[in-house]
Amino acid sequence: MDLTYTAEEDEFRARLSRWLARTLPELPPPPDPLDWPGRRAYDTGWQRRLYDAGYAGLHWPVDAGGQGATPTQHLIFLEETEKAGAPYVGANFVGLLHAGPTIASEGSAEQRARWLPPVLRGEEVWCQGFSEPDAGSDLASLCTRAWRDGDHYVVSGSKIWTSHAEVADWCELLVRTTPVSGSVPKHRGISWLAMPMDAPGITVRPLRTLAGSTEFAEMFLDEVRVPVSHRVGDENDGWRVTMVTLSYERGTAFVGEVVACRRVLGELAREARKNGRWDDAVLRRRLGHLSAEFAALWRLTQWNVSESQRTGGVPGVGGSVFKLHYSHARQELYEAAADVLGPGALDLGHPWNHDRLSSLSYTIAAGTSQIQQNIVAERILGLPKGR
């Protein structure tokens, strides 16, 4: 990958920067972090502005409604929007960063035409229905059943950690369409469905996290009818489709957050100089180490995005390397923030302290660190399973 910028890429950056400078002052104040209906309206409103300006789905293929931009342009977009303080993807996270790309990659022409344009225009929000209370990190052990009744699946079971269920229109849902038996491995009988969240039989109960947020929920499904035409991929082929979803989640969904962490690191250094903590040589070495870690993560991001483009657009197992290192680096960043703040680390109203509590979930989200280590050991290093 050539890491120098062409004249066209410099012009793209300058044009985007000018648009952000004109547009961001027009935005209303962001809503309260706990006001999810308000956050949905704010986040989808920002997405609509991106769509009208030609920046929605920048890296999606043109035939999926995207702009067909190069990987480098996509990274420039992430850098410039974060530097300018533009809103985070927020409630649009699942739809834009993994349900949408999965449908673009695995969906039929009819499914792409139905579901992708409303995501890009900020008209519909998706949630994720993967995790279950009794499956833990072993996603293939999910028990939510779906059986055929004519042109519909009838779905019963429960999900947990259902991101953005409180305000979602659609759910990317994993269900078991063939019971586990001695002859059928547990990951063979799973299907990937797009479930409308207004269907009868769905109960959503928001869960309050350690950080006080309610973006997660538990969801109960009581004979919910989902059209068979809403299945993405073949019946019982949902595990393969899910691997595509998780590749996007681990490979590209956290890229924008790396840019944000590099910004926060600079803020930590400035605050430490202001409050006297900069005199601590141990703290300075710690911040220097983190600077090197995030610089390396950005280079790894560039390599992963370039490699996914070369191999057809789906991120590879390099996403697991990124996810493993990023989750730990993020936690170290906010532990360092607590050292910089000193007694101020007890003020839960400070955004660094909120993010410190949130960072604890990153070694579980999108597959635990132990799962990422297994993937790296088996699929990159070629080590045998079970060792």
- The catalytic position among 124, 249, 267, 271 is 249
Residue 350 burial (CB < 10 Å; 0-12/13-18/19+)? middle
- Measured in whole angstroms, the distance separating CA 337 from the mean position of its chain's CA atoms is 24
Could you give the CA distance from residue 169 to residue 251 in angstroms, rounded to a whole number? 25
Q: Is 50 left (phi over 0), alpha (psi -120 to 50) or beta?
A: alpha
Which residues have C-beta within 8 Å of that of residue 312, sequence separation ≥ 6? Answer: none
How many CA atoms lie less than 13 Å away from 199 in the CB half-sphere? Answer: 22
Within 10 angstroms of residue 343's Cβ, the number of other Cβ atoms is: 6
What is the residue-wise DSSP string for 40-85? HHHHHHHHHHHHHHT-TTTTS-GGGTS----HHHHHHHHHHHHHTT
E strands present in 137-227: 145-149, 152-159, 170-176, 190-196, 202-207, 216-227
**Is the separation of the CB atoms in 232 and 241 below 8 Å?**
yes
Helix axes 71-83, 255-275, angle to 10 degrees: 30
Angle at 60 between CA 54 and CA 63, to 5 degrees: 90
The yes-or-no answer on residue 235 being catalytic is: no
Q: Which residue has the tokens 């604890």?
A: 360
Rounded (10°) CA dihedral 23, 29, 31, 37: -50
**Is the separation of the CB atoms in 147 and 78 below 8 Å?**
no
Question: Active-site positions?
Answer: 249
